Structure 1
Amino acid sequence: MVQFGQDGIARSIIAAIKAQIHSGAYRPGDRLPSSRAFAAEWGASRTTVTAAYNQLNAEGYLIIRQGARAIVAPGLERASGEVPIPTASPRNLSALARRLLAMPSPPEAQPARVADFRYGDLSGADFPVLAWRRASNKAILRRGARLRYGDPQGSLALRNALQTYLWRARGISCTPDQTVIVNGSQQGLDLCARLLLDPGDAFVIENPGYPLARNVFAAAGGIAAPVAVDADGLRTDLLPQAHLACVTPSHQFPLGGVLSATRRRSLLAWATATGAYIIEDDYDGEYRHDIAPIPPLQTLDAESVIYAGTFSKTLSPTLRLGYLVVPTSLRRAFCEAKRLTDRHAPTLEQDVLADLLASGAYERHVRSIRRKNAERRQVLLQALADHLGSRVTVAGADTGLHVVAWMNGITAEREPEIIAAARAAGIGLYPVSPLYDPGEPQPGNAGFILGYAGLDTEALRRGVAVLATVLAKHR
């Protein structure tokens, strides 16, 4: 218990700083706030803070030098058991929290020094810095006399600009009222889970498929109904009874199949018959290499399909802006859910995007990076052919920003061994097998998702050459 009085405050400061050091928040060599700044934050006298720092110095936690801020002493290792930090008892957690705690967390990989094939990364050199800066300056200068909360549905200027862009680029006919601006497509999926699923409801998910989609629906209490995919996308002949289906029809993630016209009609007929909604995740619809653009499902049935788009694959995944095109009947529910979740998406970034879309700068940028990524794709495919030849089978190369490389003659059980060896050689490698439902048949051969949009052509060539050397040692 925190005691009142300067001695009690000093003891509280000492205990708090020790806890921060033991937890790893402060590391050896890190500088602490000045005694003046710390005193202001804690409402203590500077003399009290100085006394606490001196005590920590005497105990070997801090190093104090005249005229400099105190630093954490070297050699202090994280020791989580020395200063216990209270945690909530499981009996105080909601069912949602317990489901989230039960979900596996993806491992955090260190950056690869030769080539990191992680999907979803974009090249920083491709970001339209000048266009973004000009639009940002205009948006800042246009700020009103008062700064206020925005529309939970999103900036009207951005929704108007999106309406015309989606019609030109994807053939979608919608009104600004049908569009909801979200913090990335992941929040869009979360809103769908909250509004369309009750605990125990079944949802269709592609197998293999996008794990964060599966997890967000499961977190809402939904029961996964995995449906297999093949070269033509989702196997609609296997669709079960469910409340919703989340699909990637324009470029199945991760295998790359494009949902055929026959299956599109079958999926929409299933939605009509069951009363289910379809969430169409068009995560990289701007990228077509060897095939013509595929019209979205939403263009065939605007009342059954919720279209989810994102700027993460064209501008930056750090931007965290996406959008939903929802049936008119669901508009109010999504707007209110967005208001309750986080009030609204960042308004400055929305204004910048609206300007980029309205001026044509965004589409010029998309055309530019489409050419660059087509070149990267060609370099990757050529390097795989040159270095691996018949030892690899490539899938999903016609669209998107990644390919899947199946390793002929190497079983999926050896994926961890190959990933570790590749990491040691400076290559970031990511397997396909974790994207399959654990209760369903797994792939026989080892397979890896090779994202190429974040690498230059030289890194792609070098990365495949090193990967080939690694694989030769692990056949």
Structure 2
Amino acid sequence: MDQFPIPPGQGSGFNGAGRRICELLRSQIADGTLPAGARVPSTRALAADLGVSRTTVTAAYEQLAAEGFLVTSVGRVARVASPLAAAAPSDSGTKRRVRAAPSLSAFGRRVAGIEMPGLAPAEPCRVDFLYGAVAARDFPALVWRREYQAKLRHHQRSLYYVAPEGDASLRRALQGYLRRARGLACDAEQILVVHGSQQAIDLCARLLLDPGDAFVFEEPGYLMARRCFEATGAKLLAIPVDAQGLDTARLPRDDRTRLAYVTPSHQFPLGGVLPIGRRLELLDWARRHRAWVVEDDYDGEFRYGQRPIDALQSIDTDGRVIYVGTFSKALSPQLRLGYLVLPPELVPVFRQAKRLADRHAPVLEQRVLASLIDSGVYERHVRRTRREHERRRAALLDAIARHLPGDAGVTGTAAGLHVVLWLPFLRPQDEPALVDAVRGKGVGVYPVSPLFAKPQSPLQPRPAGLILGYASLTVEEIQQGMRTLAAVIAARGSEPNSR
């Protein structure tokens, strides 16, 4: 057998030397040096040959036998398995054969065909107006750590799965919080804890839509939600929004429309608040068509200058609204905790689907959050961060007014953690070049056009737009970022044929 370097005195058991013995024997089996049925050296002989302990060789042989490369038995010489029970790995230099496209389900083919913007670059910008990012310094780390350690020390007789709907302590805490903060009265049994609002939307899509159905969606709207619904094979019905949110006068009359997705408290991304007349019209439409309304309350806690608008579900008397809440904006998107408030008849099937998907959300985090809500810490944290966000928002609006051309416009300022900046002197097709140029200066800004489902109409042209999140930035960074954006826009304006 070929020699290979194994330092002596490596100890016993399946260590680094044992792994190298396995690799050597696998390669010799693969290249035919040790054909099927051939004897392999005894453990004693190979140990002496390689300068390792016999225990190490024995452990390597046992590993190869478990993988199906060798056949061993007490008192008999080990042999190469015949026929081999496991294929040997190919040599790294061997050219791989071209594989055919994978066989996928219809759902899989639809998912594979979905176009999505890339994730945020791994290398962050010096100043990044990334929507959905919040400041790490705002996270209540001290109280979270204290509560987490307390829950970790709490004695449990055993560790096992909990109910798919979530820990009872968090659902009870949410029941009280939603009544206080969002005007929403529900039973704890109606609440389902999920991995953020994205899982909530995915469950709604898969449980409520079939291929051939249709769904109403805001135009423009939240791209990740639209893609979830489209992946079911349902037909998109994009309904325009205006300064007041979804234009309910344009709701379809087709009874195949099974679902409407809305962001009524702060339309994403344009920021309109759905007035009471349109809310009632939407609920009446859902009742008449027996359609579900998915209410995504993604940042309803952050309204400035007045009390947050009550949830749409708070005035739903027919049980047609599914409320989606999240802790991503108030605490952290990395926490991956959100929840659904379901009409009672949907509770069993949503629990079952959650159980099939991933059993349940992380338990310790749920219990920590329940303690923070019950103690009042969470609501004090929300009030504090609301003041911080209001200060950042004011800084952004001031910087836009101070540094950008006077015809630049801003929408969505009354609530939330982002604004949309409209640049009427540029076209939507100018957005990618502008974004790249600004990123080249170390500032991240993001185009609004991907949030529109329909191409721009020549009869109703819209200007270029940027969605600017400000929740993760300092006042100084906001000012610096807008100065950089202004400089890039000014440079573009001085270029020949810049339009």
CA distance in 2 between counterparts of 1:147 and 1:424 reads 50
Is 1:355 the counterpart of 2:371? The answer is yes
Aligned 8 A contact 1:203 1:222 in 2: yes
**Mean alpha-carbon deviation: is it higher for 313-322 or for 408-417?**
408-417
For residue 333 of structure 2, give the secondary structure of its aligned residue in structure 1: coil
CA distance in 2 between counterparts of 1:40 and 1:177 reads 54
1:77-116, aligned counterparts within 5 Å?
84=96, 89-90=101-102, 92-110=103-121, 111-116=123-128
Counterparts in 2 of 1:392 and 1:291: CA distance versus 1, 3 Å: farther
Aligned 8 A contact 2:22 2:61 in 1: no
CA distance in 2 between counterparts of 1:347 and 1:285 reads 25
TM-superposition CA deviations, 1:168-192 (whole Å, max 9, x none): 1111100100000000010001111
Partner in structure 1 of residue 164 of structure 2? 152
Partner in structure 2 of residue 30 of structure 1? none
Is 1:385 the counterpart of 2:401? The answer is yes
Aligned 8 A contact 1:158 1:351 in 2: yes
Runs of 4+ in 1 over 6 A off after TM superposition: 11-14, 39-42
Partner in structure 1 of residue 486 of structure 2? 468
Which of these residues, 306, 310, 320, is aligned with residue 326 of structure 2? 310
1:10-409, aligned counterparts within 5 Å?
10=27, 43=63, 84=96, 89-90=101-102, 92-110=103-121, 111-240=123-252, 241=254, 242-301=257-316, 303-409=319-425
TM-superposition CA deviations, 1:230-285 (whole Å, max 9, x none): 00100101111310000000000001111111111110110011000100000001
Aligned 8 A contact 1:191 1:337 in 2: yes
Deviation at 1:433, TM superposition (A): 0.7
Counterparts in 2 of 1:336 and 1:411: CA distance versus 1, 3 Å: same
Partner in structure 2 of residue 431 of structure 1? 447
CA distance in 2 between counterparts of 1:336 and 1:178 reads 14
For residue 243 of structure 1, give the secondary structure of its aligned residue in structure 2: strand
Letter in 2 for 1:107: G
Deviation at 1:391, TM superposition (A): 3.3
Bigger-Rg structure (1/2):
2
So what's the TM-score if we normalise by structure 1? 0.83
- CA RMSD of superposed structures (Å): 2.4
Counterparts in 2 of 1:141 and 1:466: CA distance versus 1, 3 Å: same
TM-superposition CA deviations, 1:327-379 (whole Å, max 9, x none): 01111111111111111111111111111111111111111111101000000
Aligned 8 A contact 1:127 1:315 in 2: yes
Aligned 8 A contact 2:297 2:325 in 1: yes
CA distance in 2 between counterparts of 1:368 and 1:183 reads 25
Partner in structure 2 of residue 414 of structure 1? 430
Letter in 2 for 1:97: G
Partner in structure 2 of residue 447 of structure 1? 465
For residue 299 of structure 2, give the secondary structure of its aligned residue in structure 1: coil
Deviation at 1:427, TM superposition (A): 1.1
Partner in structure 2 of residue 457 of structure 1? 475
Letter in 1 for 2:463: N
Aligned 8 A contact 1:433 1:443 in 2: no
Deviation at 1:130, TM superposition (A): 0.7
Partner in structure 1 of residue 84 of structure 2? none
Counterparts in 2 of 1:157 and 1:40: CA distance versus 1, 3 Å: farther
The count of residues paired between Structure 1 and Structure 2 equals 414
Deviation at 1:84, TM superposition (A): 3.2
CA distance in 1 between counterparts of 2:241 and 2:131 reads 20
TM-superposition CA deviations, 1:145-168 (whole Å, max 9, x none): 100101101100000000000011
TM-superposition CA deviations, 1:430-464 (whole Å, max 9, x none): 11111101356385211000000011111101000
Aligned 8 A contact 1:114 1:462 in 2: no
Aligned 8 A contact 2:22 2:60 in 1: no
Give ranges in structure 1 of 5+ residues lacking alignment.
15-35, 46-79
Counterparts in 2 of 1:9 and 1:400: CA distance versus 1, 3 Å: same
CA distance in 2 between counterparts of 1:469 and 1:182 reads 43
For residue 390 of structure 1, give the secondary structure of its aligned residue in structure 2: coil
For residue 409 of structure 1, give the secondary structure of its aligned residue in structure 2: coil
For residue 335 of structure 2, give the secondary structure of its aligned residue in structure 1: coil
Give ranges in structure 2 of 5+ residues lacking alignment.
1-20, 32-55, 66-91, 494-499
Aligned 8 A contact 1:115 1:459 in 2: yes
